[in-house]
Structure formats: C-alpha cells, structure tokens
Amino acid sequence: MTHNPIRPWRNIDRRRSRQIMVGKVPVGGDAPITVQTMTNTDSGDVKATLDQIIRCVDAGADIVRVSAPDQAATHALREICRESPVPIVADIHFHYKRAIEAAEAGAACLRINPGNIGSADRVREVIKAARDHGCSIRIGVNAGSLEKHLLDKYAEPCPEAMIESGLDHIRILQDNDFHEFKISVKASDVFLAAAAYQGLADCTDAPIHLGITEAGGMLSGTVKSAIGLGNLLWMGIGDTIRVSLSADPVEEVKVGNEILKSLGLRHRGVNVISCPSCARQGFDVIATVSKLEERLAHIKTPLSLSIIGCVVNGPGEALMTDVGFTGGGAGSGMVYVAGKQSHKMNNAQMVDHIVELVEKRAAEIEAAASAEAAE
C-alpha cells in the first residue's frame, strides 16, 4: 500500500473503447493499459529472439511484436510463439502470404494494413486465417508510408490524411465482418501524431495503440514519447502503448511503464522519488539512486520509495511513501517506514538496508494479496 492516495483531481477519465483480445491479454474497454515493444533480432534466430523477448517481459512487457518479412521468419515464428511467455504480434508489410503463415504459426495478432496487401480476395484470405486461428489485427497507419492517393489529395502527411487512411482500413475489415482489431496512427512529429490520434478517437470505438514512431535515441526519444503519449493518455486516449527508441527494446518497456506509472495508470514495481541533489545533500544522491534502481528492478509489487538528500523536502516526501531516506549530517540519515520516522542509518550501509526494507514490504503486500484472494 502506498502512502500517496489517488485524489479526485488526479483521476483520468479514459475513453471507453470496445475490448479485443491479443492472445490472453485484453486490450481496450476497462482492461489495464498494456506496454508493448518490438524485437530487433534476426527473426529467424529463435534463440536470440526468445532471449530478447524474455528480457523484455522481465522488464514489464505485456505484448511483444516480431517482424516477419520472409518465410524463414514465419517458420521460426512457430517456435517463438509457442515458447514466448506473452502474446506475439507478427509485423507484416504488403505480403499477404506472410500474414497467413504467421496466423498459422500461432501469432496472437497481425500488424497489417488491409488496404496494402493486394486484391479483395487476398484480404479475405488473410481475414479468414486470422479468424480461423484466433488472431486479432492491428491496423498500423504511419505518416511516413501513407497511400499515394491520400498524399495526392492532401499534398503532405497531415492528421486528416492519417485518419482517412485508418478509417479506410477499418472499413475493409468491417465489410468482411471482422471486428477484432485495434488501430494506430503514428508519426515522428509529436503534434501530427497527437492531432491524428485525437481525431481518430472521435471516429471509432476501436482500441487505440499509441506510439510516437521513430522517436529517436534514448534521451530524445524518451522525451518525445513522454510528451506525446503522456498528453494523449492524460486525455484518456490509448489502450496499449509502444515507445519507439533507437535503443535496447528493454529500455522501451521501461520508459513505457514509467510513463504509465507517472500518470497513475499503471502500478508496477518501485516508484522512486528522488531529488536532483545540490550542495545541501548529506550523501551522494545520484549514485545512490542509480544503485537502488538496479537492485530493486526485480520487484514487481507497487511500492513508493523516497530518496532525498537533505531535510528541506525529505521528511515531507517520506510521509507519503512506503519507505524513505532523508539525508542528515555526520554521515547518517533518517529512515522512514510507512510514512513514519523510524530510525537512523549510516550512509555507508543505507543502500543494503533500504533494499532489505523494500523487499520485506513487497513480500508483506504479496502475502496479504494472496490471503485476500484465498478467502
């Protein structure tokens, strides 16, 4: 239990979409907002791809996308889907046979634009394969690959063109009586993506997959994603998210979870509240927080931890967290537990001690939850 209760002015009124299933994971409706990423290994290398998927799941991924550009990839997808601990989305572009093969291989979802895979007969074959094998579909509109007739009509990628593209693809699925789909309208420009998503949200009740595509490297991409996705989520738009970074997919998952956590939309792991440090600090805040984040990464139970360098804001922050440490003088600081002052601790032993306290509190919460579920 955290000591920072949700108050009315923090509530987000989520857009109500209909719900679909991606494997066993619900997306949309009142289901929790899920975090996705995409592997960047050679999809034909089963071991490397599965190893990366498992690392992403350990970091908090609910769904993982795997590119399936050729037959070797769709052949490998069968084992990947069978061994993966989370549902796999097969990323398909243009080639309808790859989509059928991916569905047969056990993919939980196909990322494909129905209007880009050829004739109406081919579209029907893909939809039949998806229906026969229990696949959902993600329509993935991207500002960088809009259809030529829309670029001719609008002269450039714009929100109206992206929305029209999305609705055209939706119509194809609905005309074939297929409704297990979600949709994204991504752009690398934050303003363009946000405007397209806002307009799309008014036009369909389909679950929405949020993303700022090709956002950039670790720092710039994180900032762009936090601004773009954060604002849309704050408006209640979005049922599943993928942060796109030129970085390890594990980092995408971490950033996605932190965005949701910052808005109170997801509660997973330790929420660290720490100061930027200054000349008042009684210990090395930056190094301490880095060590704690690494050593507490394995904890999935929602907990709050405050690490503040001095007594200016430290006691106030500690009152609202499960565990807290506030720097003092003479090489020691004050430990807070459950929002109350508990005991002093030597700075040199502080990291080990805080890890022990957090792990103990996490175990207590898990035990209480298990006991409640058993009743």
Give the model confidence (pLDDT) of 292-344 as tens digits.
999 998 999 999 999 999 988 888 988 899 999 999 878 899 999 988 999 99
Give the model confidence (pLDDT) of 111-170 as tens digits.
998 777 878 899 899 999 999 999 999 999 999 889 999 999 999 999 999 999 999 999
Which of 105-109, 161-165, 246-250, 311-315 is predicted least confidently? 311-315
| Residue 81: partners with Cβ closer than 8 Å, 6 or more residues away | 88, 105, 106, 107, 108
Q: Find the mean pLDDT for residues 362-367.
A: 90
pLDDT value of residue 369: 84
Among 198, 228, 262, residue at a domain's last position:
262
**Sole residue written with tokens 């119509």:** 171
**149 with 171, same domain?**
yes
**Cα distance between residue 193 and residue 365, in whole Å:** 39
**136 with 244, same domain?**
yes
Give the model confidence (pLDDT) of 276-288 as tens digits.
989 889 999 999 9
**206 with 286, same domain?**
no
Q: Find the mean pLDDT for residues 38-51.
A: 96
pLDDT value of residue 8: 62
For residues 37 and 253, the answer to whether their CB atoms sit within 8 Å is: yes
**256 with 274, same domain?**
no
pLDDT value of residue 9: 62
| Residue 126: partners with Cβ closer than 8 Å, 6 or more residues away | 96, 99, 100, 103, 110, 112, 114, 117
pLDDT value of residue 1: 41
**328 with 223, same domain?**
no
Write the CATH number for 302: 3.30.413.10
pLDDT bin (cut points 50, 70, 90) of residue 3 is very low
| Two tokens, residue 163 | 């929305």
Count structural domains, the chain. 2
| Residue at 2 is within a domain | no
Containing structural domain, residue 315 = 270-374
pLDDT value of residue 205: 97
For residues 19 and 207, the answer to whether their CB atoms sit within 8 Å is: yes
| Two tokens, residue 75 | 């052949």
Among 245, 262, 279, residue at a domain's last position:
262
